[in-house]
Structure 1
């Protein structure tokens, strides 16, 4: 099947925000990624699509997510090009919350004193490079310094990076759910490659509607790195599965959206304990009273 690649230069935050939005849909692209041009320092959003790509839909999504018009360039894909290697350009290892997140293309020795997490850098919807993910990793570290959760769950797990982080720190099972069956499969693969395959319980579920999720409630650590709208919609369900004193880590929201999310969770008996701000993005740590 012929394929095209579309691209546009953006800021790093914009590129990853658009990647997240595209990967949340199954009708726009086969895959999407963001990378930095090492020669110019410019960040670029790229997506691989069946031909022809729906440029009108991409432009509408960009206006919704980024708040302005974005023009996309279209290039037919050269079947002989090494697109995997190209997608890895500019994706350097990330250190956050005592974790060292790196791609399989890295050849440097792992640093001492940090917990390594290997996530294939081609999977841009959860590589650890976006501020929402690094904020969550830091939030996990803060929570685990004062709590020892026994029943954690990662909602909207993506590549499984956050569930893997908790499993490596706590050495116990973590439920990792996602609405996308592909994400669930990738999570399983990443868990195995990180030596915690036996600790990750993958669940293909829309929100929290699954017998495994309901059957293992209540949870004393709940992580959800998704978007502000779904976080607000899930607040009653998260309130129901949260144990008393549970830590709730929420991310995927812009700084301007934080108060709306906090208010929704306050109504469910959860109070703000801490927040982590990284550029335009906020990660929240709440606790069920």
Structure 2
């Protein structure tokens, strides 16, 4: 099989990891994806290994959607004998967010005391823990759990299942995890079992809120959705409809420049803004159903 390496440099760390997570969400674009720092320049490099030839147009369009501008990609043939899966894990150091410790199976160091560990591997679906949207959600979850104990929860656009698993690790309740991508659903199930919470995660394939199981379990006292600003805005009325009064919505995947529009949509849906976390260029919102 002929394999190419597609790369883009001169990125910030946030941009590189945003591309990693976005490409991971589409398993047809790349075999593996990774991000690493150029030690000489301090710039960050995005890399993807692809069947030849890579779909440059799709990569460019995705970069415009995620980063808000054009990105230049270069392509070169690579040695298929190299273990590119292992290479894709280089630079993905463990992440500490709130009281959670997110690490990959390649990590051999000890787990720090006092943190809740979650083993989540890269290049399977969105959510390795490295992107500011994920860390923002984990921090918001940590804060929420110091205030109250939710009982009925849904994670919309679960990706790798990292947020649902975080909740399951801390609570005894069952969490409904949904995603439009069947690969993400399978990944979530596998990760839940790997992390010892398989019986607490019910993962289903669903487009937005369009699934009878979502309606059957409503109302929820906690809704988590780390997707993108556009879909979040479209889902605002529906999220308002499935969230009980006094319930919480934790939303991310939102650029700081997009936050006001998302806030307005959820205020119209009956939510009040409780907290606004900014991590680099990205926003996490905590809203309460009035």
**TM-score (structure 1 length as normaliser):** 0.94
**SS in structure 2 at match of 1:264:** helix
The answer to whether the Cα contact below 8 Å between 1:19 and 1:124 also exists between their aligned partners in 2 is: no
Change (3 A) 1:58 1:121: closer
Question: Structure 1 residues 61, 122: CA separation in 2 closer, same or farther (over 3 Å shift)?
Answer: closer
TM-score, with length taken from structure 2 = 0.94
C-alpha separation in 2, matches of 1:22 and 1:111 = 30
User: Which whole-Å CA distance do the structure 1 matches of 2:116 and 2:100 have between them?
Assistant: 5
Question: In the alignment, is residue 220 of structure 1 matched against residue 217 of structure 2?
Answer: no
**Structure 1 residues 30 and 121, CA, compared in 2 at 3 Å: closer, same or farther?**
closer
Partner of 1:47: 48
- The corresponding residue for 1:264 is 265
Pair 1:158-2:159 in alignment: yes
Q: How does 1:106-145 map to 2 (within 5 A)?
A: 106-123=107-124, 125-145=126-146
Task: Tell me if structure 1 keeps the 8 A contact 2:120–2:128.
Answer: yes
1:115-160 Cα distance to aligned partner (Å, 9 max, x none): 0011113447211001000000000011111121100110000000
**Offset at residue 30 of structure 1 (A):** 4.1
Instruction: Give the match for residue 211 of structure 1.
Output: 212
How far the C-alpha of 1:71 sits from its partner, in A, is 1.7
For these two proteins, the number of residue pairs brought into alignment is 289
Change (3 A) 1:34 1:51: same
- Kept in 1, the 8 Å contact 2:248–2:289? The answer is yes
- Deviation for aligned residue 1:78: 1.9
RMSD: 1.7
CA separation of 1:108 and 1:229: change in aligned 2, threshold 3 A:
same
For the residue of structure 2 that corresponds to 1:198, the secondary structure is helix
Tell me whether 1:254 sits opposite 2:255 in the alignment: yes
- Report the CA distance shift for 1:285/1:88 in structure 2 as closer, same or farther (over 3 A): same
Task: Encode CA deviations 1:21-77: one digit per residue, 9 max, x unaligned.
Answer: 334446533443323356764322122323211223323332343343322111223
- Deviation track 1:74-113 (CA, whole Å, cap 9, x = no partner) reads 1223221011211111111111110011111111111110
Please give the alpha-carbon distance, in whole angstroms, between the structure 2 residues aligned to 1:124 and 1:188.
12
Distance 2:272 2:76 in 1: 49
Aligned pair in 2 of structure 1 residues 91, 12: CA closer, same or farther (>3 Å)?
same
Q: Single out whichever of 216-225 and 53-62 deviates more from structure 2.
A: 53-62
Q: Which residue of 2 aligns with 1:73?
A: 74
Unaligned runs of 5+ in 1: none
Matched residue, 1:21: 22
Does residue 3 (structure 1) correspond to residue 32 (structure 2)? The answer is no
